[in-house]
Amino acid sequence: MSAENMEYLTIALPKGKVFTKAVDLFSKIGYTAEGLSDKSRKLIIVNEEKKIRFIITKTADVPVYVEYGAADIGIIGKDVLLESAKDVYELLDLNIAKCHLMMAVPKKLKRLRLIDYANTRVATKFPHIAASFFNSRGMQMEYIKLHGSIELGPIVGLSESIVDIVETGTTLRENDLEEYAFIADATARLIANRVSFKLKFSRINQMTEELRQVINK
Ligand code: PRP
């Protein structure tokens, strides 16, 4: 075994929607570990034979663990990655957890043009993404950071619009909102720490290529 392969490869997985899909994907390339389940309260799960260590973190924290090198690689939605603005390598679009970022507004109060929303309030979990979208269109906005149930914002008069992810569209429909502008695709990505990518290059590169073979295009 080479020196590189003697070391653990630490993989950060986010709790929540992406977890099971990420675990399925890794199991297809033989990266598994006993007890790797989102029901478990264990935060580190090790496969001694393969020298792999999975760490299970809150979604928004995956890029933090990877940027600081506490995890060599991680899986994270592009939405969270963009918002975090962390200095990590994005290696692969895993094409799981398909969703996109968009601006939505109440159907009944829909304004004619995007510019008609200038200087209004936007409720969002993603203020940086929202600001970059509106700034690039020369629009000044007021951003109201929420932590969930973003769709409630315009319904109760907190904001005129939202910037959020949409997956099936059910939440928008059930709350009489309508997608108004597409912002970006937000599938899950494989990311790597910059130093780990160099020091553990052959393992990370091989794993990336194996994942590339099994992802659904
Ligand atoms: C996300 C997102 C939307 C919803 C979109 O919320 O913020 O509310 O999913 O999914 P849909 O298009 O399939 O309805 P999440 O379920 O993560 O919960 P949150 O609102 O508490 O953030």
Partners of 142 in the β-ladder: 121
- The 10s digit of each residue's pLDDT in 25-68 is 999 999 988 888 777 788 999 999 999 999 999 999 999 999 99
> Do 36 and 78 lie in a common domain?
yes
**Mutation probe of ligand 1 site: the residue of 58, 76, 125, 164 with most atoms within 8 A of C-beta:** 164
Tokens of 45: 């799960």
Closest protein CA for atom 5 of ligand 1? 166
What is the C-alpha separation between 52 and 7, in angstroms, rounded?
9
> Do 170 and 109 lie in a common domain?
yes
What is the C-alpha separation between 144 and 77, in angstroms, rounded?
22
> Do 78 and 11 lie in a common domain?
yes
> Do 15 and 92 lie in a common domain?
yes
> Do 93 and 191 lie in a common domain?
yes
> Do 91 and 198 lie in a common domain?
yes
> Do 43 and 78 lie in a common domain?
yes
Closest protein CA for atom 17 of ligand 1? 148
Domain that holds residue 152: 100-185
Q: Using an 8 Å Cβ cutoff, are 43 and 1 in contact?
A: no
Coil/strand/helix, residue 59: helix
**What CATH number is given to the structural domain containing 57?**
3.40.190.10
Ligand 1 binding site (Cβ under 6 Å of any ligand atom): 148-151, 164-171
> Do 45 and 123 lie in a common domain?
no
Total domain count for the chain? Answer: 2
> Do 43 and 108 lie in a common domain?
no
Coil/strand/helix, residue 108: helix
Phi-psi region of 157 (alpha: psi -120 to 50; beta: other; left: phi over 0): left
Closest protein CA for atom 18 of ligand 1? 148
Question: How far does residue 166's CA lie from ligand 1's centre (Å)?
Answer: 7
What is the C-alpha separation between 120 and 134, in angstroms, rounded?
11
Q: Using an 8 Å Cβ cutoff, are 143 and 130 in contact?
A: yes
Q: What are phi and psi of 182, to 5 degrees?
A: -80, 140
> Do 41 and 127 lie in a common domain?
no
> Do 7 and 93 lie in a common domain?
yes
What is the C-alpha separation between 185 and 9, in angstroms, rounded?
29
The tens-digit pLDDT sequence of the chain (217 residues) is 555 557 899 999 999 889 999 999 999 999 988 888 777 788 999 999 999 999 999 999 999 999 999 999 999 999 999 999 999 999 999 999 899 999 999 999 999 999 999 999 999 999 999 999 999 999 999 999 999 999 999 999 999 999 999 999 999 999 999 999 999 999 999 999 999 999 999 999 999 999 999 997 6
What is the C-alpha separation between 80 and 68, in angstroms, rounded?
17
> Do 76 and 147 lie in a common domain?
no
H or E stretch covering 73:
strand 73-77
